[in-house]
Amino acid sequence: MDAWDPAYAVVAAGLAANRAEVSATALTGGVSCDTYRVEVPGDTFVVKRALPRLRVADEWYAPVERNTGEVEYFRLVGDIAPGQVPEIVVHVPPATTGESGWFAMTWFPPERYPLWKAQLAGGTASPDTGRAVGDLAGRIHAATAGREDVRAQFATEVHRDTFHAKRIDAYLLTTAARHHEVERPLRTLAADLGRADLALMHGDLSPKNVLIGDEGPVLLDAEACCWGDPAFDVAFCLNHLLLKCAWKPEHTPLYRQSYTGLWNAYRARIDWEPPDQIGRRIAALLPGLLLARVDGKSPVEYLTGEDASATRQLVRTCAVGLVLDPPDTVPAVLAAFLGGIQAGA
């Protein structure tokens, strides 16, 4: 435990009578928060507190007030898609600006709610999950697009600063500074994202943040949520399916089906703009995100290390080519990336 004790915090919040009856176990895997599985008599939940500096090699800071934004996202989306985001048990906002508040939310037992990321890595995922995730994302975007009340809640300076720090700077701008051959198009993508004004984004729609429940996917970790371009959410998730084709080519048919199913289900929900219009933005973002996940501030862990250097270079080469000459449809990105991977393997 550090100076902040989650067991003491839940007692102070009235979730337990005394510290002796609280068991708190740190959860691993995240870089941006202190996260604990907390057991009290008769209940188990997750406690989460944002860190000012993320646990990565590069210097990476984000506003700690994003904890409050994540709570707001779960509460709003819980009304749109009941049961498909955690319920908030308690939220303790920061006492002063710059301090980190915390919240407690639903604990989902892993034996009942497997992680989509783990299923994809093992080649055991169902393609139906991709379709369900695409449908859920489309429902959330369709329900929030153009809503001034949601815009007022999530287009704040804190939300925009968080999304800029965690996504625009960490991914696109950092990668642009490291790849001068594609600096201009990456900076253009970053600028377009920064001024987008369409709908509520999750901000971290990734297989690592999707649990598979009996009633469909459950979305976790919405601390990068922001009002902006819903194309980012779709591109961010599809990007992981592409990267896995390079990492585990033996499971490429599964990843291809998941990618296609996600996009088709999402496309069917688009009613706030022409589907081909947002499809072009997703197709433009995908190559930049591919490159960012090997050369940005947060490279995917399965493509780090010396043993993955050849795969990283293969992804890098394909991604740079696609940034310079981006396909104009989502299916075309899949075909071009798979063709590049196969040609370079």
Q: What is the CATH number of the domain that holds 329?
A: 3.90.1200.10
Q: Please tell me the pTM assigned to this model.
A: 0.91
pLDDT at 58 over 80: no
pLDDT tens digits for range 236-265: 999 999 999 999 999 999 999 999 999 999
pLDDT tens digits for range 137-160: 999 999 999 999 999 999 998 889
Q: What is the CATH number of the domain that holds 103?
A: 3.30.200.20
- Write out the DSSP string of 182-225: GHHHHHHHHHHHHT--SEEE-S---GGGEEEETTEEEE---TT-
Q: Once rounded to an integer, what is the mean pLDDT over residues 186-198?
A: 97
Give the pair of three-digit tokens for residue 295. 């050369």
Range of the domain at 50: 1-107
Domain C-terminal end among 73, 107, 141 = 107
Shared-domain flag, residues 91 and 160: no
Angle between helix 275-295 and 309-324 (nearest 10):
140
Shared-domain flag, residues 178 and 84: no
Shared-domain flag, residues 173 and 308: yes
Shared-domain flag, residues 146 and 288: yes
Shared-domain flag, residues 26 and 171: no
Indicate the residue type of 335: A
Percentage of the residues of the chain whose pLDDT score is greater than 70: 91
CA 97/CA 293 separation, integer angstroms:
32
Shared-domain flag, residues 76 and 123: no
Give me the pLDDT at residue 203, please: 96
pLDDT at 120 over 50: yes
Shared-domain flag, residues 87 and 196: no
CA 318/CA 341 separation, integer angstroms:
7
Shared-domain flag, residues 52 and 128: no
Shared-domain flag, residues 193 and 277: yes
Give me the pLDDT at residue 281, please: 98
Q: Which of 147, 115, 141, 295 is nearest to 232 (CA)?
A: 141
Percentage of the residues of the chain whose pLDDT score is greater than 90: 69
Shared-domain flag, residues 130 and 98: no
Residue 61 DSSP code = B
Give the pair of three-digit tokens for residue 90. 């308690």
Domain count, the chain: 2
Shared-domain flag, residues 139 and 242: yes
Shared-domain flag, residues 237 and 292: yes
Give me the pLDDT at residue 56, please: 47
Domain C-terminal end among 86, 107, 128 = 107
Domain C-terminal end among 51, 81, 107 = 107
CA 256/CA 253 separation, integer angstroms:
5
pLDDT at 95 over 80: no
Q: Could you tell me which residues are beta bridge partners of residue 61?
A: 53
